[in-house]
Amino acid sequence: MKPLALLRQASADPRLALMLALGFSSGLPFLLIFSTQSAWLREAGVSKADIGLMSYCALAFSFKFLWAPIIDRFDPPGLARLLGRRRAWMLIAQIGVAAGLIGLSFGAPQRTLVWSIAFAFLTAFAAATQDVTIDGWRIDAAPAERQGVMVAVYSLGYRLAMICAGAGAFYLADFDGWRLAYTAMAGLTLVGMIACLLSPRLDRTAPGPKPSLQTSFVEPLADLVRRYAATIVPILLLVALYRLPDFVSGVMANPLYIDLGFTKSDIATVSKLYGVWIGIAGAFAGGALAQKLGLMPTLLIGGVAASASHLSLAYLAAHAGRLDLLTLAVSVESFAGGFAGAALIAYMSSLVSPGYAATQYALLSSLYALPGKFVGGLSGFMVEAMGYPRFFVSTALIGVPVAVLCLLVWRLRAPWSHGPVDGADRRAALR
């Protein structure tokens, strides 16, 4: 569904309008503690090794399933009586995000990196908690047949926030420094707070103890193992390694641009504005091809393309300061990354069973992000040891085992993996 069509629907349906604002609120913090912050750190003279290690703050997004049952089952004292459980936790998380961003805005990473680390972790933890509460509100707010459009509107809001946190923050930083940029981003958290307060009270969960380890994790995992039997190991390896090249290289992309001498406005326009829309186009292309060719062919094409696209970053690194090569590298990497991301989302959606869909998808999505984030934290040491060109060539070579795993899983699961995806998978692929 096209962005303008989604905006028209959102203007006619209050739930969709709120979902758009909440999607914006969810998408705002991520770049500010990951990609955007890495540019600030590099400009401040922080070493590439420390920048890589700082990316570990974003691990909160991968481990949010650990405290999600608490958010789902317990009321925050006092505030829950006024707002209900979901909205109370949501508002607390949003206040935490705002506090974290304000704290970051007063940081001076060249002198006190510990301050930046502490507030980046606070922002990440609060943002991950906000994601849990918004997902719960979305599920409660609309019936199953409306979830597709709810997710699409959420994704549009998320992308708009990424433009603000990427391009917007870079433009503001170029105008008057990073403190103004992060203070302005903290102000934008009011969008989500207002949406939270305007949203209806829709809690449907009954009070009770936190779900047990058995029901929360063991049974969904056992179901996956039971259904996929001997093929479960290559399937999980494929999920874990598929986006590894992007996570590893993503931490070092902005430091590369800074070290090559590009201005913050150059980076904002090419990477954070133009690149976002190219990534959206790639995601739609991945969803369309999955519908036409089937999941496994699309997954194979996306995995190879996303890894190989890093060669354009290696080429850029060897030809310093050329804006045309920056545009080319961003175009290739963003389109291929969006395509691969859509293919993986559709594939993971096809793996889950209806009885455990939410938990299994959460576990799979955590699995696909964890290895990349762990290795990505060491990317600064890798760049310092081998230089930017060789580093990006090495991340491109990760595509070789990814392609082998795709072919292996395709062969092992051949009876179901050749056909086109159904409507539900296609909607997931277009997120």
The arithmetic mean of pLDDT across residues 282-308, rounded, is: 88
Amino acid occupying residue 282:
G
Contacts of 6 (CB under 8 A, 6+ apart): 16, 20, 149, 152, 153, 156
Rounded CA separation 238/347 (Å): 10
Average model confidence (pLDDT) for the chain?
A: 84
More confident call, 200 vs 120:
120
Q: What is the tens place of the pLDDT at every residue in 62-75?
A: 888 788 778 877 88
pLDDT the model gives residue 421: 43
Helix (H, G, I), strand (E, B) or coil at 389: helix
More confident call, 201 vs 414:
201
Q: Are the C-beta atoms of 238 and 367 separated by less than 8 Å? A: no
**Phi-psi map region of 419: left, alpha, beta (phi>0 left; psi -120 to 50 alpha):** beta
Q: For 121-141, b where at least 16 C-beta lie within 10 A, e where not — what string?
A: bbbbbbbbbbbbbbbbbbbeb
The arithmetic mean of pLDDT across residues 283-312, rounded, is: 89
Amino acid occupying residue 153:
V
The arithmetic mean of pLDDT across residues 8-20, rounded, is: 76
In angstroms, the first-to-last Cα distance of the chain is 10
Q: What domains appear along the chain, each with residue ranges and CATH number? A: 13-202 (1.20.1250.20), 211-431 (1.20.1250.20)
pLDDT the model gives residue 431: 35
Other CB atoms within a 10 A radius of the CB of residue 400 amount to 11
> pLDDT band at 355, cuts 50/70/90?
low
Say yes or no to pLDDT of 417 above 50.
Answer: no
pTM of the prediction? 0.75
Q: Which of 110-124, 197-211, 223-237 has the lowest mean pLDDT?
A: 197-211
In the chain, what percentage of residues exceed pLDDT 70?
87
The arithmetic mean of pLDDT across residues 108-118, rounded, is: 91
Say yes or no to pLDDT of 270 above 90.
Answer: yes
Q: Which of 92-96, 164-168, 238-242, 320-324 has the lowest mean pLDDT?
A: 320-324
Helix (H, G, I), strand (E, B) or coil at 202: coil
Q: Are the C-beta atoms of 161 and 153 separated by less than 8 Å? A: no
